[in-house]
Copies of this chain bind each other. A is one copy, B any other.
Amino acid sequence: MDDATLHEAGELEALRRFLPLLPAGDATALGPGDDAAVVAAPDGRFVVTTDTMLEGADFRLGWSRWHDLGWKAVATNLIDVAAMGARPTSLVVALAVPPSTRVAALEEFARGLADAIAAMAPGVGVVGGDLGTARHGVIAVTAFGDLEGRAPVLRSGANAGDAVWLVGALGLAATGLRHLFAAAVDEAAEPVRDAAERLRRGAHGASIDAQLAPVTPIGAGALLADLGATAMLDVSDGLALDAARVARASGVRIALEATGVALAAPGASLEAALHGGEDHALLVTIPADVAPPPELDGHPVRRIGVVEAPAADEGGTVTLDGEPLEARGWDPYRAG
């Protein structure tokens, strides 16, 4: 029975085994099982973000365990909610996989969702979902949060004179991916699970974990908003590109300092720190007279630069130790 495929078990049996593994959530007024769920929004507004993880483009089953995929879905989506200064409340998950997938794989995925929530965002509920079939795996997550009366922290609020802080680590996930591509593929560049598992237990384990099952500073978002954050975002496409987004939206120059950036990127190259992507750290600007604690939600908080007034002809640039930094990052339609 534990080796039954979805095709053998059918949707009802799969759901019967999948749904009880999901956390109900403190804000859930009505959970899965009807046409729609109902979630409390005590603030009178809710924060919403959506993202898809696609087999091939975003994950490989030869490297990621199903538990990792559930974990990463929570870690990467709730951090977008946190980056608005909100407390995550709930999420919905749509999953499409080949009918030959084992029901046990779905259960591992559900345990990954539940374990990630317990570790990073206790009280969050999985309030709904959708199971379907696809030739290649599709994981679509939509996540919600409550602002608890706060104004949302946008990308556009940075002011000249603010300090630039980073909560989390830079370059680690990209370094992990580089190790996987270097040492966990066969001659045809296909993933090799045994090699990936060995890497994960070895000296590069932290970077492999950051790539496959990241721990993101979800609890820090609301704390940073309460500290007076003027702008904030989740660094997902590389620090250089994401800092440029804040600079452009705010009409400022972001002046990064290489010393601070290097400290925020232990074990990673400067290239990975600046352009690597998938960091899921929080980049945040805070008035200079506010000193955040050295750690928030278990993640280091490091000062990596300052916000400056732009020159007259300058529309949102980023510099590193005074030199212009290319806003080069990840474009899914141009990769490969």
Interface residues in chain A, defined as those with a beta carbon under 8 Å from any beta carbon in chain B: 6-7, 9-12, 14, 29-30, 33-52, 54, 56-58, 80-81, 83-84, 86, 90, 92-94, 96, 99, 127-136, 138, 140, 142-145, 147, 152, 154-155, 232-234, 331-335
| B38 and A147 within 8 A (CB) | yes
What are the residues of chain B within 8 A of A35 when measuring CB–CB?
49, 80-81, 83-84, 155, 232-234
Given contacts A35-B233, A84-B36, contact A58 B136 (CB under 8 A): no
What are the residues of chain B within 8 A of A143 when measuring CB–CB?
36
A-B contacts besides A29-B152, A39-B45, A46-B46, 18 pairs, CB < 8 Å: A10-B333, A11-B331, A33-B155, A35-B84, A36-B86, A36-B143, A36-B152, A37-B47, A38-B152, A39-B48, A48-B128, A50-B140, A52-B140, A54-B132, A54-B138, A56-B134, A131-B333, A133-B333
Closest to A101 in B: B333
The count of identical subunits is 2
| A42 and B40 within 8 A (CB) | no
Q: A51 to chain B: closest CB distance in Å?
A: 5
| A41 and B44 within 8 A (CB) | yes
Q: A335 to chain B: closest CB distance in Å?
A: 8
Closest to A51 in B: B130
Closest to A143 in B: B36
Can you list 7 A-B pairs with a CB-CB distance of less than 8 A?
A: A9-B333, A35-B232, A36-B48, A48-B92, A50-B130, A54-B134, A56-B134
| Complex Cα gap A10–B37 (Å) | 36
What are the residues of chain B within 8 A of A50 when measuring CB–CB?
92-94, 128-130, 140, 142
What are the residues of chain B within 8 A of A84 when measuring CB–CB?
34-36, 38
What are the residues of chain B within 8 A of A80 when measuring CB–CB?
35-36
Q: A216 to chain B: closest CB distance in Å?
A: 12
What are the residues of chain B within 8 A of A49 when measuring CB–CB?
35-37, 92, 128
| Complex Cα gap A333–B18 (Å) | 15
| A42 and B39 within 8 A (CB) | no
| Complex Cα gap A334–B13 (Å) | 12
| B92 and A131 within 8 A (CB) | no
| Complex Cα gap A12–B334 (Å) | 11
| A56 and B135 within 8 A (CB) | yes
| A47 and B38 within 8 A (CB) | yes
Closest to A131 in B: B332
Q: Which of A35, A132, A144 has the most CB of B within 10 A?
A: A35
Name the contact of A45 in the complex, choosing from B40, B47, B57 (C-beta under 8 A): B40
Given contacts A58-B132, A155-B34, contact A333 B99 (CB under 8 A): yes
| B332 and A36 within 8 A (CB) | no
Q: Which of A47, A140, A145, A155 has the most CB of B within 10 A?
A: A140
Name the contact of A11 in the complex, choosing from B36, B233, B333 (C-beta under 8 A): B333
Q: A121 to chain B: closest CB distance in Å?
A: 14
| B142 and A92 within 8 A (CB) | yes
| Complex Cα gap A129–B48 (Å) | 10
Closest to A54 in B: B134
